[in-house]
Structure 1
Amino acid sequence: MNTYRTSEVAEKIGIHPNTVRLYEELGLIPRPQRQGNGYRVFTDLHVEQFRLARLALQIEVMQNGLRKKIIHMVKVSAAGD
């Protein structure tokens, strides 16, 4: 399995490195492992989860709380439940 640094994930997905950290904080991706120096180590699974989260956030569905349900599903996916 490939591993990536925060900046590599950001470049691969087309987002700012701070957005990578924000998605982790919001629970939209699984928590990455950390190196001894505290740096995050992302995997291919994280990259796919980012893509899922980005797709979910681009959907402009406002009726009946569907956007909240989509975000909830992304978080469940990130948690591995």
Structure 2
Amino acid sequence: MRNVTVRNLSDEVHRAIRQRAAAHGRSIEAEMRAILTDAAQPPERVKLGSMLAAAGREIGLTSEEHTALNNRDRHPAEPLTFD
């Protein structure tokens, strides 16, 4: 984990974060972590798996096509040999 120091935080901002932390039942430090996490990883970000599933629904894969795509060989590939 990394540490971050925030300098020159105004009294008004510190007071607001302290009140917000109290409302959420956590420490000021925990509240700041939550604020930074929400800002850096918003819930509306696109996740690759969700995007691919949506693309499959858009092109209208049938159940048979979906089954065919999932019935692939799952054994690890053999390494190449150069004899």
State the TM-score, normalized to the length of structure 2.
0.27
Considering fraction of residues, name the structure with more helix: 1
Larger radius of gyration, structure 1 or 2? 2
State the TM-score, normalized to the length of structure 1.
0.28
The higher-RCO structure (CA 8 Å, 6+ apart) is 1
